[in-house]
Amino acid sequence: MRFMPDRHELLRIFLGGTVWEDWDQAPIAADASSRRYLRLTHDTQAVMVMDAPPETGEDIEPFCHIANYLESAGLAAPKIYKSNLENGFLVLEDLGRTDFARALQKDPSQEPGLYEAATDVLIRLRELDAPPSVTMNPDVGGEMTRITCEFYVNDPALADEMAKEMAAHLRDLCGPPNILALRDYHAENLIWRPEYRGLQRVGLLDFQDAFLAPDGYDLASLLRDARRDVSEDTVKEVIAYFAKYTQQDEGTVSAAVACLSVQRNLRILGVFARLIRMQGKRRYVQMLPRVWSHVMQDLQHPALHRLNAVLRDRLPEPTDPIIMAWTE
């Protein structure tokens, strides 16, 4: 039997002798991984703690590298105040409590402005020399969709055909994989900080899985969010804005974003289905219809007609009977 360390005791030791050891601790909602987050507070001060157990496969070193890279580029990644790589603990700057999703729930009229600010960050990222990283080339991008046919639909023949066609579309419609993509660039991972100016208004979280991808990957992540609907007016405005300020043809950007959205959301269908089926994480059930709709909507882009022909009748809608069959 594998020994599982007492994370509470390890955290107590990690914080021992620091200014934060007696601060109040409050858990923050967990993500899809085995990481957990705590907010430590004292009077008006606050920091965040990341607890990423190495025994579950977590590795905080990539987060540290990317955080330092982003901060050096003038972006609002959290400063790292204290780290223990061996045990998987970080004390981080608290960037704020209002993510984009909360800000927009309170005032939906802010959507165009917030999404433009988030797009400014992506424009800045594409100007930088990307650090060495894992690369999502077309073949890798195609292979990443296979999980859909393992957990969402049981169709090995479709897995081969989909991976091949997806890779071909990525090759035809998207640029080279030379842009650092933060990968989970969506409303719940972006902190809105209106008290700051410029790029510092957008706090960045959950970027430890960043990789090199074609231009527009994070734009697809932002606009085709698994957790909230972005208005089509905002989608069109943001694509036009991105195209203008990166000096690209708007139609080219639109096709690339649609292609990358389909690749990304096919994979998310598989990942969410796995979380539901293998780990009993039922909260992902409510997100499946939106993710499926993103795939179906972006398959309608004229540039994706070949992929649409492959998938349109073989990727069923996530209805209750289908989901119930997973847990029987």
pLDDT confidence of residue 1: 35
Name the stretches of the chain with pLDDT < 50: 1-3
Shared domain for 176 and 312, answered yes or no, is: yes
Sign (positive/negative) of CA torsion 128, 134, 138, 144?
A: negative
As a whole number of angstroms, the distance between CA 14 and CA 10 comes to 6
Q: Given 68, 93, 118, which residue is the final one in a domain?
A: 93
Q: How many residues does the chain have?
A: 328
pLDDT confidence of residue 252: 98
Shared domain for 200 and 86, answered yes or no, is: no
Shared domain for 260 and 318, answered yes or no, is: yes
Query: Domain total for the chain?
Result: 2
Q: Given 65, 93, 121, which residue is the final one in a domain?
A: 93
Shared domain for 85 and 199, answered yes or no, is: no
pLDDT confidence of residue 32: 60
**The pTM is what?**
0.93
pLDDT digits (tens, 9 = 90+) for 109-119: 999 999 999 99
As a whole number of angstroms, the distance between CA 238 and CA 226 comes to 18
pLDDT digits (tens, 9 = 90+) for 139-152: 999 999 999 999 99
Shared domain for 112 and 89, answered yes or no, is: no
As a whole number of angstroms, the distance between CA 132 and CA 153 comes to 35
As a whole number of angstroms, the distance between CA 27 and CA 30 comes to 8
CATH number at residue 234: 3.90.1200.10
pLDDT confidence of residue 31: 63
Shared domain for 276 and 234, answered yes or no, is: yes
Shared domain for 204 and 121, answered yes or no, is: yes
pLDDT confidence of residue 207: 95
pLDDT confidence of residue 2: 45
Bridge partners (DSSP) listed for residue 26 = 39
